[in-house]
Amino acid sequence: MKLVPNIHDLYIGRVVLATVLLTWAVLVGLDMVMALSNEVGDIGKGNYTFGHAVAWLFYTVPRRAYTMFPTAAVIGSLMGLGQLAASSELTALRALGLSRRRLSISVAAALALLTGLMVFSGETLGPWGQRQADVLKNSARSGDVAVDRYSGLWAREGNTFMYAQGGEEMEDKGRSWLQLRDVRLYELAADGRLASIAHAATADHQEGFWLLKNVRRTTFHERSVSQVVSLGERWESKLDAAVLSSGLTKARNMPTRELSQNIDYRKRNGLDAREYEDLYWSRWFFPLNVLALCLAAIPFAFGSLRSGGMGKRLFLGIVFAVSFWALQLQFVRLASAFHLDFRLAYAMPPILLLAVSALMFRRRST
């Protein structure tokens, strides 16, 4: 079988791409409307205006498009193939000698183009846009907190400026708190000169103060410099941990490279890295998930989609997508609970779906 595209492949690909793009636009649009309605509650906090909310929303479009793409792909594929089946065009193409395998390859090739663009966007535009959105929102809501364009967090309290390389929410025995890592405190004197610099490995938020650990403090006197090293130090600060937490890049918004770095960091320091491993492997299996979903939907184009309207195709697409994500979620939860390899959890659902798709193809071929 030749893999060089012919006019039939291009026609099928064009129809499928058109319905996928239309479905995609509708899903992303609905998600944006709901997100904007949620942002209305934050308007008026600090200098945060409706214009800021709209700008924040458009910065997050690449991330939303990436998240919605698998669902849009399966629903759009079913609607496009259903349209061809209802008009007997698939039957005509079969009569011209195109096999079901060839038709499946035509659909998969068309979707591979969009999937490749989404993988690229998920590693570049998505994280960049989300980071810009965080910068915009936190700068407008709180003048004392700013997110670095590349990484980290800046905050100010009085004459003290704080910089944290990163951080995360910690939990232990039912208690949760914010922990910042690689923290630097720059304290200015009344005359504007630099009075001291403190570097702490971590800063844990407690009731009304921050607990700095493994602190090295350098103090600048008029004619000398002194340095003190301590295992712990109490920093009396009223910086809002909730505001600081919102300014940190969430794990789900990180590119694969940063997820890998965080996994290494947490393992080196004896911390739980399962959340980052979960997200890391979900990115790697993203293309396989899209392919499995769409290939599993193709057999229906040769049977049940010949009759029935758009509502039936839309219903089947939603059932496919929801069932697949529910199955994968259960596998991932089991992997997390029993400390299994996440690669196995993410590989099993698409493999099972492809196996079912192959069986359905055989039944419809006999």
Does 106 fall in a domain? yes
The tens digit of pLDDT for each residue in 203-224 reads 998 888 899 999 999 999 888 8
Q: What is the 3-state secondary structure (H, E, C) of 13-63?
A: HHHHHHHHHHHHHHHHHHHHHHHHHHHHHHCCCCCCCHHHHHHHHHHCHHH
Q: CA-CA distance, 183 to 267, in Å (whole number)?
A: 20
| Chosen domain end from 238, 264, 283 | 238
Q: Do 12 and 119 share a structural domain?
A: yes
DSSP string, 137-205: HHHHH-TTEEE-SSS-EEEEETTEEEEEEEEEEEEETTEEEEEEEEEEEEEE-TTSSEEEEEEEEEEEE
Going from the C-alpha of 47 to that of each of 41, 53, 138, 162, 362, the distances in angstroms are 13, 11, 10, 22, 62
- Cβ atoms of 47 and 116 within 8 Å: the answer is no
Q: Are residues 138 and 158 in the same domain?
A: no
Give the domain-ending residue among 238, 264, 298.
238
Q: What is the per-residue pLDDT across 39-98, written as a single tens digit (0 to 9) for each?
A: 988 888 878 899 999 999 999 999 999 999 998 998 888 888 878 877 777 778 777 777
Comparing 257 with 313, the larger pLDDT belongs to 257
What is the radius of gyration, based on Cα positions, of the chain? 26
Q: Would you tell me how many other CB atoms lie within 10 Å of the CB of residue 166?
A: 18
User: Is residue 102 located within the same domain as residue 39?
Assistant: yes
Residue 254 domain-assigned (yes or no): no
Amino acid 215: pLDDT: 94
**pLDDT at residue number 319:** 79
Q: What is the pTM of this model?
A: 0.76
Q: Is 19 part of a structural domain of the chain?
A: yes
Q: Which of 210, 238, 266 is the last residue of a domain?
A: 238
Q: What is the three-class DSSP state of 218?
A: strand
Same domain for 11 and 138?
Answer: yes
- To which H or E segment does residue 123 belong? helix 100-123
Q: The domain containing residue 197 runs over which residues?
A: 153-238
Signed CA dihedral, 46, 133, 346, 256: sign only: negative
Does 115 reside within a domain?
yes
Number of structural domains (the chain) is 2
Please tell me whether residue 210 adopts helix, strand or coil conformation.
strand
Burial group, residue 293, by CB count within 10 angstroms (0-12, 13-18, 19+): buried
